[in-house]
């Protein structure tokens, strides 16, 4: 399940990727996610990238565990957050009822469609009852490698079908890409709670 091609891309391009994303403002989605969490909640930043959102959640008082599958990205996230980042792919998550929330911002889009049910099942297993999942995908129906990375685009009906076995939907919405010059790209966002 570990996509070595995508991981290799991030290992080669870690510094450039972080430079393009570390200042992207995810304030709206983060606010919606964190408002559903208890105080001092334990949160998994699942595919943390630059560590930008891990740092933001730590500043809000949450106990954040940051993970990413790329060792070079983890090193960059360490520089951003000042805390150790665990090198781990999605299929290696094996904790049980360990988290109040899982934040998967623009990360699960690198999971192939046939692998998403297992990955989402792992997320549900790692969340406590009533725990909150946030995930986001580029909107659309295409899947495949592009410029060295795998992308799974998603439409709402398919996402709801994938989420349904383990979660109750809180909200699904479409947003524009927050990176400069990319506001024409659309993202599908989902907040859900574990049954």
* CATH code for the domain in which residue 79 is found: 3.40.50.150
Considering Cα of 159, then 160, then 161, then 163, what sign does the dihedral take? Answer: positive
Over residues 41-65, mean pLDDT: 97
Over residues 164-180, mean pLDDT: 90
Report the pLDDT value the prediction gives residue 15, as an integer from 0 to 100: 95
90: containing domain: 4-194
Could you please report the per-residue DSSP string of 42-101? EEEEET-TTSHHHHHHHHTT-EEEEEES-HHHHHHHHHHHSS--EE--GGG---SS-EEE
Q: What percent of the chain has pLDDT above 70? A: 97
Calculate the CA dihedral of residues 19, 25, 26, 27 and round it to 10 degrees.
Answer: 150
Report the pLDDT value the prediction gives residue 178, as an integer from 0 to 100: 76
Over residues 6-34, mean pLDDT: 94
Q: What is the reported pTM?
A: 0.96
Whether residue 71 contacts residue 11, with contact meaning beta carbons closer than 8 Å, is answered with yes
Number of domains present in the structure of the chain: 1
Asked if pLDDT for residue 174 goes beyond 80, the answer is yes
For 130-155, what is each residue's pLDDT tens digit?
999 999 999 999 999 999 999 999 99
Chain center to CA of 50: 12
pLDDT-derived band at 180, boundaries 50, 70, 90: low
Average pLDDT, the chain: 95
Over residues 84-99, mean pLDDT: 97
Distance, in Å, from the CA atom of 73 to the CA atom of 96, rounded to the nearest integer, reads: 26
Asked if pLDDT for residue 108 goes beyond 90, the answer is yes
Which range among 14-18, 72-76, 174-178 shows the weakest confidence by mean pLDDT?
174-178
Asked if pLDDT for residue 1 goes beyond 80, the answer is no
């Amino acid at each position: 399940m570990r996509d070595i091609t995508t991981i290799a891309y991030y290992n080669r391009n870690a510094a450039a990727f972080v430079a393009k994303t570390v200042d992207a403002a995810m304030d709206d989605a983060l606010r919606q996610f964190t408002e559903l969490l208890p105080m001092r909640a334990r949160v998994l930043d699942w595919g943390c990238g630059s560590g930008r959102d891990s740092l933001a959640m730590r500043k809000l008082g949450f106990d954040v565990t940051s993970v990413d599958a790329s060792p070079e990205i983890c090193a960059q996230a360490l520089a951003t957050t000042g805390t150790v980042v665990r090198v781990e792919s999605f299929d290696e998550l094996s904790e049980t009822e360990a988290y109040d929330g899982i934040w998967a911002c623009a990360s699960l889009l690198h999971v192939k469609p046939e692998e998403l049910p297992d990955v989402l099942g792992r997320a549900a297993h790692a969340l406590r009852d009533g725990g909150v999942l946030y995930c986001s995908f580029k909107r659309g129906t295409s899947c495949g490698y592009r410029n060295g990375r795998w992308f799974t685009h998603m439409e709402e009906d398919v996402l709801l079908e994938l989420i349904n076995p383990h979660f109750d939907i809180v909200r699904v919405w479409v947003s524009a890409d927050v990176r400069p010059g990319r506001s024409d790209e659309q993202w599908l966002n989902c907040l859900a709670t574990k049954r």
